[in-house]
Structure 1
């Protein structure tokens, strides 16, 4: 199965091939000019091997496309960092990852987050976060540091109250009822959302189950300013930094946000979910 990193290498290879063809060079001629084995050009164009920054500079120089080198080098750097497997990232536990988030979130002014089925991490109660992290640790057989991970996540939430950060958080109504936590924990989480929805810097949107979607919500993602998109898959975290990727996710976010209810309407959905929990308990 092609991984996102492999797909990115293949996309880079297509761009390199187009540049070569526009320069009217054969693969063998380019390889000879660069002093490479003749098969290297084909491997780079098909995403079989990673291109280095020096490879890109040489390619662009020989093809008379120096003006494209900087953008292509940025692509190479993003491929190197975009795909990190959870087991490799979290081999020292979840606390380290949470503390890393504190560092890069401190430099972010505008947070845009979409989650289809869970409450975004910055809005979670300690009990809800513990349920999420416990399930994640158990699934991936990671070191059990739930308490430390929860403490670090709670530390992250101080950003909601200091500095000039702004938060636009959108999630589907299903997140209000999904059984990822015991009913009493979910009730506490919903109470927390009602309180956070009144913060001036938090723009909280809930997409009603039967809302007409402007975009199909395939997975969750976070956009940090206009610099980085973070996507959590089952097996890995993707970090996207290319302007074209950020533009795509920004467009998706605007369409999802356009389907959401805000203010009094959003609070009515949360209150309704709380009432259903109370009815189930009685």
Structure 2
């Protein structure tokens, strides 16, 4: 899983091939040759081959016709969801960030507003919904410097702070799993980190928030890239060069399974508070 996430262009290619393979299975189950299907749909047989090998992306109408002629209409919805995943899953950060970071923060608000349950796994950073303004500013300034983009860090932080208010409305729930490394990765100076970790303790006490922390120890599941699950609608995965949007139900279920297994590794409640407090104390050493 982690190797695909680390290469967005590879992920898109593999998604096209996976969709093509599923369509081929449907055709074979219907006992149709590529030429048979092409004749029924009014396509050249080479189009069938290109789609099945991931060299051509089908349209939603193509998928509808494919399933209809193969008497597999019940699979059309899932396949269309896969197609939309391919269309949405690769969004280049440089294009999204070319005018700075504020627009990126604001663009996510509609998705946050229609989400009732957030499930978030972060291996190395405190998630944006739980960040202090000072922590967020130090992080965004680092992003600006690395990306060499216009510096609107202050405005982006303000937008992020506004977005955090979403958690206080609409009966929303937020289940978060952090790696211990996220507590120990210093963003800003010791004062910024101490305030951030103190704020994390406060946020964790909210009735609509569940915070688990996976201690640094031997484990049976490797740390994957961070990911956010928005209800059952989509999963967002951030990589160095892109954001992957996953909307195919079977893939969302895979992330849900990963979240559940990671949650089994985490500690909660008093154990979480002790761990955060110990990290705060270690800032002075």
Using the TM superposition, give the Cα deviation of residue 175 of structure 1 relative to its aligned residue in structure 2, in angstroms: 1.1
Distance 1:161 1:30 in 2: 53
Alpha-carbon contact 1:214-1:255 (below 8 Å) kept = no
Q: How does 1:81-100 map to 2 (within 5 A)?
A: 81-100=88-107
1:278 match: secondary structure: coil
Bigger relative CO (Cα 8 Å, ≥ 6 apart): 2
Please, which of 52, 62, 73 is the counterpart of residue 66 of structure 1? Answer: 73
The corresponding residue for 1:125 is: 132
Residue equivalent to 2:57: 50
Residue deviations 1:81-109 (CA, integer Å, cap 9, x gap): 12211112222322112112222111111
1:224-247 Cα distance to aligned partner (Å, 9 max, x none)? 112211111111111111211111
Q: CA deviation at 1:216?
A: 1.6
* Aligned counterparts, 1:1-282, within 5 A: 3-210=10-217, 212-279=218-285
Determine the C-alpha separation between the residues in 1 that align with 2:154 and 2:69. 56
C-alpha distance in structure 2 between counterparts of 1:177 and 1:82, whole Å: 31
Q: Output the aligned Cα RMSD.
A: 1.6
| Structure 1 residue ranges without an equivalent (≥5) | none
How far, CA to CA, are the matches of 1:244 and 1:66 in structure 2? Answer: 18
Say whether the 8 Å CA contact 2:137–2:157 is kept in structure 1. Answer: yes
SS of alignment partner, residue 213 of structure 2: strand
CA distance in 2, matches of 1:155, 1:69: 39
C-alpha distance in 2, partners of 1:214/1:80?
A: 34
TM-score normalised to structure 1 length: 0.93
- The Cα shift of 1:213 comes to 3.4
Q: Please give the TM-score of this superposition, normalised by the length of structure 2.
A: 0.92
Question: Which stretches in structure 2 are left out of the alignment for 5+ residues?
Answer: 1-6
CA distance in structure 1 between the partners assigned to 2:282 and 2:196 by the alignment = 14
- Whole-angstrom CA distance in 1 between matches of 2:27 and 2:20: 10
- Kept in 1, the 8 Å contact 2:117–2:173? The answer is yes
For this pair of structures, how many residues does the alignment match?
278
What is the DSSP-based 3-state SS (H/G/I as helix, E as strand, rest coil) of the residue aligned with 2:283? Answer: helix
Q: Whole-Å Cα distance in 1 between the matches of residues 123 and 98 of structure 2?
A: 27
CA shift for structure 1 position 214: 4.8
Deviates more, 1:125-134 or 1:66-75: 66-75
